[in-house]
Chain A
């Protein structure tokens, strides 16, 4: 009921403002909503190092957050609202899709794999990172790949593509692995530290991020071959071509000008948490392919 009222109100406000709006904003429901509310909502993860995580002061930061802020700058220009407020909304693997679908957040900045199932509920911007699933284990555990996991216990984060990939791989290889669901990376680390599980399956970059923020990074290692392909993208609401075009333009510009690589190096090489991941050949190619011309 309240939503209907709000929508009606927003529609009315948008109608009144329509004369003053630039071309794109007239078409785009998201931009109209942002204009009417006077603020843009950024959904961010809290512990996806170094994509979106909290700094000492409790402010979200990271690679994805930087990219989102670039898009916010462009939205400000487009709507001619230099003082547009930015609202940060903390999200997790379970809430990111519903919050995009119901319009609570206007853009999702985390470490979300762009896949075709998810595209049914949200639109993805160009691929800004490429990774895949691997295992985080204690050094000296004897686990070198998924094949060594027979009869062992592994944690997986519920709500991730890694969960899907790991369960499929277990089935395919006909090995017996007991899986324990966790809600986020810190809980997975707690399970590993207490010896409750032998491994944690997640995107390799996030595992390196976890090691870099662990109490004793020298205790941990990432092992095995990739058992999934996870291209990341920022997510925006569906059915909004104009907003999507604006955001895609920002990302393509960054890729073309080489600024994307600079932002990458700021967070990954070596990055604030000393993650030390030089840009991969695949990602470099992806940047140049997606740097669409005007």
Chain B
């Protein structure tokens, strides 16, 4: 291969600054989207377990809709289609009124997509608790809200920490798709460095290392959370 390596490019300005700026945007997109995903996913997941047909139907419809459409298609729908189908004023706001419309579109899209996945995990977490617990709690006089708040959710969140970890990692990796609508995050910055200097291999190597670092940090964080919140005697957590 006829390629001239130049690792020094990564330490030169402006490229050094670009990589860090891109990394910052990647984290911003991923963390904000994850916050949406976690809150929305919890609500939808709970809806799917409530013994009443309407909330269940709403929850199921949401999950099926957002889980079954490819993420890239969803991104384009949010970016190109949604502003055109809402009233003109609102559309113009989405397209230009909003500060950084591309950034917020990406955050919302990723948040809704991962929300559907979180919802499924919350639902299965609740489903993993034997029904006796719910019945016992109700028999003690707790309301349905209290049953979820004090009995079902605290246990189910602990059970689903491992699958949630994968999704938290996924949101970081999927945030790179935001470059297709013009968010200049880490992958986009690497491409930009390649375009300016033609040292693409070095730029993408740096991006790979940063993605690995952040996913490693997330894994550590979730592992520590799992250990700290562990309840002795629960079978789903690692046996002591």
Q: Which residues of A contact B (CB under 8 A)?
A: 3, 93-94, 97-98, 101-103, 117-118, 120-122, 153, 155, 158-160, 163-164, 180-183, 190, 194-196, 237-239
Contacts and interface: CB of A to CB of B under 8 A. Distances in A.
B195 A158 contact: yes
A102 B182 contact: no
* A-B pairs, 4 with minimum CB distance: A159-B195, A121-B198, A181-B182, A180-B182
B102 interface: yes
B188 interface: yes
Contacts of B197: 117
Given A97-B200, A160-B195, A181-B188, A153 B1 contact: no
A118 B198 contact: yes
B2 A101 contact: yes
B3 A121 contact: yes
A101 B1 contact: yes
A164 B196 contact: yes
B1 A94 contact: no
Given A120-B4, A121-B4, A194-B84, A93 B195 contact: yes
Contacts of A122: 198
Nearest to A118: B198
Given A158-B188, A196-B96, A180 B102 contact: yes
Q: Which of A159, A160, A194 has the most CB of B within 10 A?
A: A194
Interface of B is mostly: helix
Contacts of A196: 83, 95-96, 101
Nearest to B184: A181
A5 B65 CA distance: 47
Interface of B: 1-4, 80, 83-84, 92, 95-96, 101-102, 179-180, 182, 184, 188, 191-192, 194-198, 200-201
A225 B231 CA distance: 70
Contacts of B95: 194-196
B180 A183 contact: yes
A237 B2 CA distance: 7
A278 B201 CA distance: 41
7 contacts: A120-B198, A158-B191, A158-B192, A159-B191, A180-B102, A195-B95, A195-B96
Nearest to B99: A178
A190 B80 contact: yes
Given A180-B182, A194-B80, A97 B188 contact: no
B71 to A, nearest CB: 17
Contacts of B1: 3, 101-103
Given A93-B195, A101-B1, A101-B2, 10 more contacts: A3-B1, A94-B191, A94-B194, A102-B3, A121-B198, A159-B194, A181-B182, A194-B95, A237-B2, A239-B2
Could you say which of A117, A158, A160 has the most chain B C-beta atoms within 10 Å of its C-beta? A158
A152 B120 CA distance: 43
A103 B2 contact: yes
A228 to B, nearest CB: 14
A43 to B, nearest CB: 15
Nearest to A7: B1
A194 B101 CA distance: 14
Nearest to A103: B1
Contacts of A120: 4, 198
Contacts of A93: 195
A128 to B, nearest CB: 21
Contacts of B179: 181
B54 to A, nearest CB: 37
B196 A98 contact: no
B98 to A, nearest CB: 11
A238 B2 contact: yes
A94 B191 CA distance: 7
A94 B95 CA distance: 26
Contacts of B2: 101-103, 121, 237-239
A62 B91 CA distance: 38
Contacts of A98: 194, 200-201
Contacts of B102: 180
Contacts of B4: 120-121
B21 to A, nearest CB: 14
Contacts of A182: 182
Nearest to A153: B96
Nearest to A29: B2
A3, A180, A182: most-surrounded residue (chain B CB, <10 A): A180
